[in-house]
Amino acid sequence: MREGWEVKSIGDVCTVIAGQSPKSSFYNNDGDGLPFYQGKKLFGNKFISSPNTWTTKITKEALKDDILMSVRAPVGPINFATERICIGRGLAAIRAEEKINKEYLFYFLMHNENEIIGNTGAVFNSINKKQIGDLKILMPATLPEQTEIVNTLDKAFAQIDQAKANLEKNLHNAQELFQSKLNEVFSQRGEGWVEKKLGEIASVEYGFTAKSTAEGTFRYVRITDIDTKGNLILDDKKYIEATEEASKFQLKENDILMARTGATFGKVLLYKDYEPSVFASYLIRIHFTENISNELYWYFSKSQFYWSQANTLSSGSAQPHFNGKALKEVIFSYPKSIEEQEKLIIEFKSLLDEIEKLQTHYQHKLNNLEELKKSILQKAFAGELEYGL
């Protein structure tokens, strides 16, 4: 242990307040009473966001600058309270006393989040007031030394956060580059191009309803099997046994499927023949009746032109629905010539490959910066960080 440092329990240097929820009959959205927070839903990077619920019945309070800890799954995330609030049973407040710098405590809890989860030993992934109070903290005995460590960490983290912001901007620009190309292409009109409703150039087919299991003859492709990029997710697979009816819904290479409801509504999958598969009833298969490349439509489904229509044509707010009738109203602009379509596909593929390489590169750098943060915190709380004094 570094000279002048000591090990304390959180309970020795802080007051811990366990949250307690008032009855919901005391809640309101009008600003009456104290802001009420139940869990980490409104946590920001460091400070909790503005409230959306208030309570006129005050049970347990946290004060401005108290550290709020999520004590139910997930256990460990922390934020600062920005005002006097009421806390529910999903939170605890940790109030630094005069022996410890609150920012030092915040960094310590951030660094030890995984250890805090491990210390709970709870099947239901929760932590109580006593367990928080019993957590050990390695700290300089004097406030000035704690403050020096905080200042050093603040400076290092500010530089890392700026580097992350620059990388995230580059990542966003790379994504915008692809969107820009899609918008440029699918906004074209004139000679050689056709603009038609999908119902004029395609038929739609709903999928097959069956009870799926972990094994079977056909993979059963569901709406949850489409990722955010419109690709097939290759894990958590479900299967059904082969029947004459199921075989009617067997997928072929480059089939186009669209999710018609749920969180993935409107997402379009270009199916690749990984294994014998059929598609579930919340998916719609699109069959083009004219000479149109399925792959070109898949790229179109990534464009703002497609999504502005999908959002307008879908019904329902909490659970959007985009059925076959609505899908047929989508207006699709495309070149008549299949050769021109294939040329565009090659351009899209090439650009997307380059952008994905850039995204991988930027994400790798972002991951390295996160690891650097962890390394600096590790040194700080092992007494190995160089700082003033």
In a domain, 277, yes or no: yes
Does residue 181 carry a pLDDT above 90?
yes
Q: Are residues 12 and 109 in the same domain?
A: yes
**What pLDDT shows up at residue 188?**
78
- In order of 77, 177, 198, 209, the CA distances from 326 in angstroms are 43, 29, 10, 21
Asked if the structure places residue 74 within a domain, the reply is yes
On the question of pLDDT at 319 being above 90, the answer is no
> Is residue 282 one of the residues assigned to a domain?
yes
Domain membership of residue 149 (yes or no) is: no
Q: Is 240 part of any domain? A: yes
pLDDT digits (tens, 9 = 90+) for 193-227: 999 999 999 999 999 999 999 999 999 999 999 99
Convert the pLDDT of each residue in 104-120 to its tens digit.
999 999 999 988 876 55
Task: Return d(Cα 353, Cα 104) in angstroms, integer.
Answer: 44
The pLDDT of residue 118 is 63
327: buried, middle or exposed (CB in 10 Å: 19+, 13-18, 0-12)? Answer: buried
Domain that holds residue 81: 5-141
- Residue 122 is predicted with a pLDDT of 47
What CATH number is associated with residue 330? 3.90.220.20
For 147-168, what is each residue's pLDDT tens digit? 999 999 999 999 999 999 999 9
102 found inside a domain: yes
Measured between alpha carbons, how far is 167 from 316 in angstroms, rounded to an integer? 37
Q: Is residue 341 part of a domain?
A: no
d(CA 389, CA 371): 27
- Residues 324-343 have pLDDT tens digits of 999 999 999 999 999 999 99
pLDDT at 114: 84
Task: Indicate if 88 and 217 belong to the same structural domain.
Answer: no
Shared domain for 44 and 129, answered yes or no, is yes
Instruction: Specify whether 78 is located in the same domain as 207.
Output: no
Residue 362 to residues 89, 166, 178, 367, 368, Cα–Cα distance (Å): 39, 10, 16, 9, 10
115 and 214 assigned to the same domain: no
Q: Report d(CA 99, CA 232) in Å as an integer.
A: 55
125 and 10 within one domain: yes
Number of structural domains found in the chain: 2
* DSSP per-residue string spanning 116-153: HHHHH--TT-B--HHHHHH-EEEEESSHHHHHHHHHHH
Phi, psi angles (nearest 5°) of residue 346: -60, -40
**Residues 99, 13: contact at Cβ < 8 Å?**
yes
**Residue 158 lies inside a defined structural domain of this protein:** no
Q: Is the pLDDT of residue 312 over 90?
A: yes
Average pLDDT over residues 179-205: 92
Residue 123: band (very low, low, confident or very high) from pLDDT cuts 50, 70, 90: very low
Burial of 114 (0-12, 13-18, 19+ CB in 10 A): exposed
Task: Show which of 71, 106, 141 is a domain's final residue.
Answer: 141
pLDDT digits (tens, 9 = 90+) for 27-72: 999 999 999 999 999 999 999 999 999 999 999 999 999 999 999 9
Q: Are residues 211 and 125 in the same domain?
A: no
Give me the pLDDT at residue 229, please.
87
Pair 14, 111 in one domain: yes
Q: What percent of the chain has pLDDT over 90?
A: 86
This prediction has a pTM of: 0.74
Q: What is the C-alpha separation between 350 and 185, in angstroms, rounded?
A: 15
Q: Give Cβ neighbours of residue 348 (< 8 Å, ≥ 6 apart).
A: 181, 182, 185, 299
Instruction: Select from 316, 336, 356 the last residue of a domain.
Output: 336
